[in-house]
Amino acid sequence: MRKKPFSLDPPERLKKLPPYLFVEVDRKKRELRAKGKDVIDLGVGDPDLPTPDFVIEALYEGAKDPKNHRYALDEGLPELRETFAAWFQERFHVKLDPNEEVLPLIGSKEGIAHLPLALLNPGDIALVPDPCYPVYKSATHFAGATPYLLPLLDSNDFLPDYSLIESEVLAKAKLLFLNYPNNPTSACVTKEFFKNSVSFAREQGLLIAQDGAYSEITFDGYVAPSILEIEGAKEVAIEFHSLSKTYNMTGWRIGFAVGNREVLKFLAKIKANVDSGIFQAIQFAGIQALKKGRNAYQKNVQIYQKRRDLFVRGLNRLGWDVPMPKGTFYVWIPVPPGYTSGELALKLLEDAAIVLTPGNGFGPNGEGYVRASLTNREERLEEALKRIEKIHSGKAF
């Protein structure tokens, strides 16, 4: 009997995905460094500041205990869930049931990626902001559902305009992704925006998934709200939080989802079938980060604010028109006339060995912008400004 040859043709769900943005950025960066170039990486948002010592010590002590070397519980240690709930109540004045309204995650990205699998059927629609963190779209595709893009425009302060969504789209929509403070635009919101979003979700029968990964990185007196502060939000919303950016723990992979208990049960069921929980020593480290980390991350914010001021003011002195962000450690830079996002990013890469992320990599409405990450020392940001000035010819490149 003749055998059918094995095919390496990827499945349709992979064909729908563009190359993951940050993998492509990293590949180009490595190519330049292999050629001996001194690359200034303002691309991926990975904090350069160290994890606090007391968090590392907690990991060390936990790792020495053999009972932590076995499978962890999918739902996380009771102490971890209780600490998440206590932190949330102190920070946002919202009471959470640690047993049913808190779900630990292997980083918030993992939870975001699994949420559409827990909620959506093929043919359903997820309302996705554009530009956005790419996982919102890819996770929707993996679930066999369709992302519908909500333009985030400067003319509307980078907020979605729900009134523009067609009724036939709303009829199939089940999920709305939000992300404030926003990556990549660095836009911030008031409670009033969340109040309007909760009302919209209740009217349309939607679940809101608010990604609050940057809630603690804010400037100039702005304090980011939680969507769960809005009355009735638990009926229609969950919120993701992460220790990655707040406590410089991107590689540790620990975060949590809070809010609607039924949705968290669905998400927990997906997780029970695909992972085995967070390494328990990391859970103990996360507990210490949440209990003792306020001073550490407030110092981080002061550092990021100095970097923001230096970099944005430096670009504006060169004739650019860059707004001063109030949240995240990103700067959303309008591209000078005569360039696309990709063309400007390529020119800076080739002529100045500076890595910036082209805005169109975050979605069609990111065209016309590049994103800079402030996860570099001040002297490196100053060097980047000097290199930009060298290739700058006044009003535009």
Q: Are residues 303 and 289 in the same domain?
A: no
> pLDDT tens per residue, the chain (397 residues)?
566 776 777 888 887 776 666 666 677 778 888 988 899 999 989 999 999 999 999 999 999 999 999 999 778 999 999 999 999 999 999 999 999 999 999 999 999 999 999 999 999 999 999 999 999 999 999 999 999 999 999 999 999 999 999 999 999 999 999 999 999 999 999 999 999 999 999 999 999 999 999 999 999 999 999 999 999 999 999 999 999 999 999 999 999 999 999 999 999 999 999 999 999 999 999 999 999 999 999 999 999 999 999 999 999 999 999 999 999 999 999 999 999 998 899 899 989 999 999 999 999 999 999 999 999 999 999 999 999 999 875 444 5
Distance CA(241)–CA(126), nearest Å, equals 20
Q: Are residues 341 and 374 in the same domain?
A: yes
Apex 322 CA angle, 376 and 160, nearest 5: 100
In angstroms, how far is CA 73 from the centroid of its own chain? 25
* Residue 274 structural domain: 53-293
Residue 192: which CATH number? 3.40.640.10
Specify the residue for token string 């919102």: 136
Task: Give the DSSP per-residue string, 302-325.
Answer: HHHHHHHHHHHHHHHHTT------
182 to each of 7, 76, 185, 327, 386, how far by Cα in Å? 41, 28, 6, 8, 28
In angstroms, how far is CA 123 from the centroid of its own chain? 26
Look at residues 293, 316, 343 and tell me which one is the last residue of a structural domain. Answer: 293
Q: Are residues 248 and 150 in the same domain?
A: yes
Look at residues 251, 270, 293 and tell me which one is the last residue of a structural domain. Answer: 293
Look at residues 252, 273, 293 and tell me which one is the last residue of a structural domain. Answer: 293
330-334/207-211 β-pairing: unpaired
Q: Are residues 126 and 152 in the same domain?
A: yes
Q: Considering only the C-alpha atoms of the chain, give the largest distance between any 2 of them, rounded to a whole number of Å.
A: 74
Residue 3 belongs to some domain of the structure: no
- The reported pLDDT for the residue numbered 397 is 55
Q: Are residues 136 and 228 in the same domain?
A: yes
Number of domains the chain is built from:
2
- The reported pLDDT for the residue numbered 374 is 98
State the burial class of residue 12 (Cβ atoms within 10 Å of its Cβ: 0-12, 13-18, 19+): exposed
207-211/102-105 β-pairing: unpaired
Q: Are residues 273 and 338 in the same domain?
A: no
Residue 154 belongs to some domain of the structure: yes
Q: Are residues 277 and 196 in the same domain?
A: yes
Q: Are residues 26 and 166 in the same domain?
A: no
Q: Are residues 130 and 119 in the same domain?
A: yes
Specify the residue for token string 């390529």: 346
- The reported pLDDT for the residue numbered 395 is 47
- The reported pLDDT for the residue numbered 394 is 46
365 DSSP 8-state letter: G
Q: Are residues 30 and 118 in the same domain?
A: no
Residue 31 belongs to some domain of the structure: yes
Spatial contact of 370 and 396, defined as CB atoms under 8 Å apart: no
Q: Are residues 363 and 216 in the same domain?
A: no
104: which strand partners?
Answer: 256
Return phi, psi of residue 157, to 5°.
60, 30
